[in-house]
Every structure is written in structure tokens, then in C-alpha cells.
Structure 1
Amino acid sequence: MIRAPDMLSRLNLFALVGLATIVTAGPCDIYGSAGTPCVAAHGTVRALFDAYDGALYQVTRSSDNAVTDIGPLSAGGVANAGAQDSFCSGTSCVISIIYDQSGRGNHLTRAPPGGFDGPGPNGADNLADATAAPITVGGQRAYGVFIEPGMGYRNNQASGTATGDGAQGMYAVLDGTHFNGDCCFDYGNAETSSTDTGNGHMEAIYFGSAGPGGPAMALGSWLTSRTNRNQNTADPSINFRFVTAVVKGEPNHWSIRGGDSTSGSLSTFYDGVRPDVSGYNPMSKEGAIILGIGGDNSNGAAGTFYEGIMTSGFPSDSTEDSVQANIVAAGFST
């Protein structure tokens, strides 16, 4: 097993069991210090900036449609799951908003209908059960976003996300055991119309067992990691309970990286030029943000999301390695 990088001590990233603040530099603090700031930061299990003490997500109670915001136990800390438990006691709740911690207002809400309608009201998608994905982070209970087919979140009017051939990076911490082969459990940059507008109009993390060339457990966008658009059978399988998935792109260059969110460093699965299919070089990204669905609202996928970010600019490998050290130090556990 590869040890976590020595940067843990250098950055004073400590997992302090029993304390609400688990690290002294959040993932978005690390990205910001490297000149590639977070323009979207979503997490239902913890704050992603060391100083963030605002709402992480909103839950809606089924008994009376009342809502409440769930924040961290303290600035930079783990979500206050106890507040959710108290509010939802005796009934059920759904996650109705996943707040953007970057300050840009890029919140994720129920995905509207698009190329594919959802089973929710007026063809929109359903919302995730607020208690379906319990874990602990730094010894504190927290809840992820458990996506089943027909569920999804979106923001078609995001601010600051990459458009056109602009550079961006993203990561997500996911449940490596919860997936299917249907389209598409994505997190990242997509079409603003909720329809398929052609090659190169989205760039997102995809996690699942579907692919244009056949089934394979892989990390990456729908463009799997080779220069043509087909599946790369040389990609390794992902076999971790908690997976760190990383995708980044800039003009005619993109990269897929990943690893175990509880131990060790990131591996690079692909780093090279864009696919040699029309539309991918240059890219035509549109800047919407999706979670649990495809760019055209394809909503047949399953997966669980705990946290993720999108950056302005192309992060360096060393910056992502520092973020991975932060994630390991956070102490994700079942």
C-alpha cells in the first residue's frame, strides 16, 4: 500500500477524532493557494474551505414540506447530522438543495426535464433520500447523496465555470461500490439546455460500468481515456469503498486520475491529447453543473456522491496530490 504523501505533516492536515474541524486547510484552500480556485464546491458531509460555516445542504420534510439548512458543526468541519436527524425524526426527508460553498451561488437543485424526462413533478427528476447514505467523517456521522435511477441535480445558470475550450479541474469523492451500467452518473460541466448539443459540449467525471465501447468500471467523462471515443480496456478497475475521482482539461489536453479516498496517493489513468473525433478539439463546454445525470438529463444511473469541486484553470498534479492527502486525512469511513 502506498503511504499518503509526506505533505500531510507539511500542511498540518490532521484527522482529529471527536473534533468538528478535521483539517486545517480545506480542499478549496489548497486549490486557491495554487492559483486554480474553486468556482463550485459541493459537499453534504463536510465543509470544503477551512473557514466555511454556512449551509452545506437543505432538506425537505415529507410530513409538512418544511425545510431546514444543515451546516457544519463548526467552521471547516463535518456536517451537523444530528440537526438533520432531529428535524426528520418520525418522517422522511429529501435533499432539496446542495449549496455551493465557493460563494458564487452555484447551488444544485432538482434537475429539470431535458432530452429525457424524469419521474418527478412536471417531468423533473426526483430528489435523493437524505438518510440513504450514512457514513462517518473524522468519527462524526454524516450523510451522502444516494442517487437511484430517476434522481438528479443540476444548475444550468452556473457562474465562473469553464466554457468553450477553457481550462478546468474537478474531483469527487464517491461510493466505489454503488453504480450501474446505465447513463449517466456524472458530476461536472454540461450543456445549459439539458439536451445533447453535440460532441465536446460537456466535460465531467463519470463513474459506472457503461461506455460507448462496452462495459468497464472506469473513471472519466463519457470520453474514455484514449485518443478515440471508444472504451480503453487498459484502464484499471476501481476497487475501493471510497473513491477519489479526478478529471481536468485544457486545450487539447486532458487527464483522468483516481485513488482510494481513505489511503495512499492518486494514480494517473490517462494524460494526453483529446480524442481524435470531430468536436473534441477545441472543446465547446457550456458551463452547466450536473450531478447524477447525463448532460441531456439521462437519468438511469445509480451512484453516491459525498463531495466534489470544480476549478477555474488546470490544476497541477501536485495540487491534486495535496487535495488527496486532505481527503485521506478527513477520515472517510463506514
Structure 2
Amino acid sequence: MPKLHHALFTLAPAGVASMLAALVTAQQARPQGPCDIYAAAGTPCVTAHSTVRSLSSRYGGPLYQVKRADGRLLNIGVIAGGFADAAAQDRFCAGALCYINRIYDQSGKGNDLMQAPPGPFYPGPDKGAFDTQPIADMAPITIGGGHKAYGVYIMPGMGFRNNNARDLP
């Protein structure tokens, strides 16, 4: 029995070391982003939007939200390396028309971008004079060594806005 006890105590630290190494590797998988650079210079991001990648190594929330024509919603998160999970969008939108419904603010201030409401000079073409939302797969790109992602293709009459953004200078 003493040999088994000794073996368990020898394996336990090795197992802990392996788990810690895996955690460190997972944390290192998210590269430094523009918001990390700005924060280090004393000018943190007050808004940060991207449908392609995280803009901060610390951001772990969704990048954007897609809406299917049937009204169902899906938040698109980040995969290793900080890139958008385009495969989740592809599965959710397979055989359906999807729109970008929201672009999340990665600064932590909650300054998300939503469908633009009617403006003072030019009404939008959608219901209630809102701007229309862009089709979610109109701007496919490949970035960072072969990662698929989607940009935002804006045509006239489409748009996002936040009229109540917080903590702006």
C-alpha cells in the first residue's frame, strides 16, 4: 500500500501541473488586441465593436447576434485565438435567411450597436422608418491562418446606432 500512496502523490502534482499548463495555454491563445494596447497607454476603449475577432484579450462575451427570418436569435461567441465562431452561425443559419441583429460592445460599457432608429434627416426603409439590418453572411472573410469569419456589409438604408452610449469623452 505505501507504494500506491507514493505513486498517487507523485502523479497528483504532475496532473495539477498539466491542468495549469492547459489553463495557461488557453489564456495565451487569445492574443493581445487593440483595447489591450490602448488600456496600457492609459486610454481604455469606451466602445469596441467587431464581428470578426475579440478586441481585448480579456473579453469573453459574444461578438454579435444573428436573427433568423423566423425570429430566433443566436449570440456568436469567440473560439480559441479570439476569432468569431463562424461555424455556429453557419449551423444556425443553414437553409435560412439571417440578419445581424446586434453588435456587442467589447469595452464592458454596454454600448452595443442595434438597428438604427429613424434619423432626423433621412428615414430608413424598414418598418417605423428604421434602417434595415445587414444580411449576416454577405461579407465572408478568411483571417488569422484560415479562420472563417463574417464582416458587416452595409448598403444604403442599412445601419446600426446607439443613441445612448455611456462614458464617451
Q: CA deviation at 1:24?
A: 2.7
- Match of residue 68 from structure 1: 74
Aligned length: 141
- In terms of fraction of residues, the more strand-rich structure is 1
1:91 aligns with 2:96: yes
Work out which structure has the larger RCO, using CA pairs closer than 8 Å and 6 or more positions apart in sequence: 1
Q: Which amino acid aligns with 1:61?
A: R
- Match of residue 131 from structure 2: 125
Q: TM-score when scaled to structure 2?
A: 0.80
Q: Which amino acid aligns with 1:99?
A: Y
Report if the CA contact (8 A) 1:25-1:50 is conserved.
yes
User: Within 2, Cα distance between the matches of 1:54 and 1:124?
Assistant: 27
- In terms of fraction of residues, the more helix-rich structure is 2
Equivalent in 37, 58, 61 of residue 30 of structure 1: 37
Equivalent in 79, 82, 89 of residue 87 of structure 2: 82
Q: Specify every segment of 5 or more residues in structure 1 that has no aligned partner in the other structure, as ranges.
A: 1-18, 163-334
Runs of 4 or more consecutive aligned structure 1 residues displaced over 6 Å after TM superposition: none
Q: CA deviation at 1:22?
A: 6.5
Report if the CA contact (8 A) 2:65-2:74 is conserved.
yes
Q: Which amino acid aligns with 1:119?
A: P
Equivalent in 26, 45, 48 of residue 41 of structure 1: 48
Q: CA deviation at 1:51?
A: 1.9
Q: Which amino acid aligns with 2:88?
A: A
Q: CA deviation at 1:52?
A: 1.4
Q: Which amino acid aligns with 1:44?
A: T
User: Within 1, Cα distance between the matches of 2:93 and 2:44?
Assistant: 35
| Alignment deviations for residues 78-122 of structure 1 (CA, whole Å, 9 cap, x no partner) | 000000000000111000000001110000000011121000110
> What secondary structure is seen at the aligned counterpart in 1 of 2:153?
strand
User: Within 2, Cα distance between the matches of 1:133 and 1:48?
Assistant: 19
Q: Which amino acid aligns with 1:142?
A: A
RMSD: 1.5
Q: CA deviation at 1:23?
A: 5.8
Equivalent in 123, 141, 158 of residue 165 of structure 2: 158
- Match of residue 122 from structure 2: 116
Q: Which amino acid aligns with 1:148?
A: M
| Alignment deviations for residues 170-208 of structure 1 (CA, whole Å, 9 cap, x no partner) | xxxxxxxxxxxxxxxxxxxxxxxxxxxxxxxxxxxxxxx
Structure with the greater alpha carbon radius of gyration: 2
Q: Specify every segment of 5 or more residues in structure 2 that has no aligned partner in the other structure, as ranges.
A: 1-25
**Identity of paired residues, percent?**
54
